[in-house]
Amino acid sequence: MRRPVRIAVTGAAGAISYNLLFKIAAGEMMGKDQPVILQLIEIPDAMNALRGVAMELEDCAYPLLHTITLHDNVEEGFSNCHYALLVGARPRGPGMERRDLMEVNAEIFSRQGKALNDFANRDVKVLVTGNPANTNALIASRNAPDLSPSQFTCLTRLDHNRAKGMLASQCGVTARDIKNIVIWGNHSPTQYPDLHHATVFGQPAMGQIDTSWYRDEFIPRVQQRGSEIINARGLSSAASAAQAIVDQMNNWCLGTEPGEIVSMGILSDGSYGIQKGIFFSFPVRCNYGRYQIVQGLDVGEFSRQKLTATELELLEEKGVVESLLPE
């Protein structure tokens, strides 16, 4: 049996984690031969609920679950972790403006970035889910000067999976038959779900759908899917978000299928003309624990406008938190 890996999770008593932790412990994220240590982190008020979650994990008697530790602070919780899943964030309260939300979360993610820098394993891989995910990832990475920004990513796999599921349903196929969807940009309603490179049974997806359905129904529906679920369920996406976290980490650590493209929020290196220094969802392939942006995809005029809109929103978000970012 391999040595166990340490996985730290913040917001561990929240709704997403209640779906996520059991998948991790069952081996769905790191593989069926990889034992895990779960380092679960919550705010002090939620520690009792967290103890309940830990009891349930224990009661599943998962063969791969080595140890569970509980923490009310990130400095202890991130200690020596190989993977850090930053799920917890402050939700928007009544009367709270978007700017207020960003500033509150900027404080949380600054502290988490510093704690990762000081206490995590040097090769830690970090996935930020808590919203605003792209900008929170930027804040955390900028506060971790001894780690490479490439060790930080944010979750846009849920958007990718949503787009895949919707296209599959429209074409009457299963998600397995669809490849190479790309989500560009922010995890927000400005994101751009791009089907120009997607295939259905190996054939171009755009040849199998109406352009008007793609532009007027598909794109806004993927962009607004989170709200559609809240309206229907009265609660935000939790099980699908957990699945997306598992998928993104699994691909990052264990690789993507040969030739397949997935979407990940990563620090822009200027590819596709996107300004450097923001976390932006790009098409990537993963191998040997690393991701690489897929280069050379054709970006037409329609796509370029959409990329620019989401890029501008991210630059604006960065502007709001700029004064809180270290040099």
Annotated binding-site residue numbers for substrate:
92, 98, 131, 162
Q: Closest distance between ligand NAX and the C-beta of residue 132, in Å?
A: 8
Binding site, by residue number, is: 11-17, 92, 98, 105, 112, 129-131, 162
Show Cβ contacts of residue 262 under 8 Å, excluding neighbours closer than 6 positions.
Answer: 157, 160, 247, 248, 251, 256, 283, 284, 285, 286
In Å, what is the CA distance from 48 to each residue of 44, 70, 152, 294? 8, 10, 30, 45
Binding site for NAD(+), by residue number, is: 11-17, 105, 112, 129-131
CB neighbours of residue 76 within 10 Å: 15
**Which candidate in 71, 82, 160, 187 is catalytic?**
187
Shorter beta-carbon distance to ligand NAX: residue 121 or 191: 191
Shorter beta-carbon distance to ligand NAX: residue 237 or 310: 237
Shorter beta-carbon distance to ligand NAX: residue 42 or 313: 42
Q: Closest distance between ligand NAX and the C-beta of residue 43, in Å?
A: 5
Q: Give dist(CA 20, CA 241) in Å, integer.
A: 8
Q: Give dist(CA 78, CA 139) in Å, integer.
A: 17
Binding residues for ligand NAX (CB under 6 A): 10-11, 13-17, 41-43, 46, 87-91, 108, 129-131, 133, 155, 158, 187, 226, 236-238, 241
Q: Clarify whether 187 is annotated catalytic.
A: yes
Shorter beta-carbon distance to ligand NAX: residue 188 or 268: 188
Handedness of CA 265, 271, 147, 107 (dihedral sign): negative
- Token pair recorded at residue 179: 């490849």
Q: Closest distance between ligand NAX and the C-beta of residue 1, in Å?
A: 31
Q: Closest distance between ligand NAX and the C-beta of residue 160, in Å?
A: 10
Show Cβ contacts of residue 64 under 8 Å, excluding neighbours closer than 6 positions.
Answer: 25, 26, 27, 32, 34, 35, 36
Catalytic residues: 187
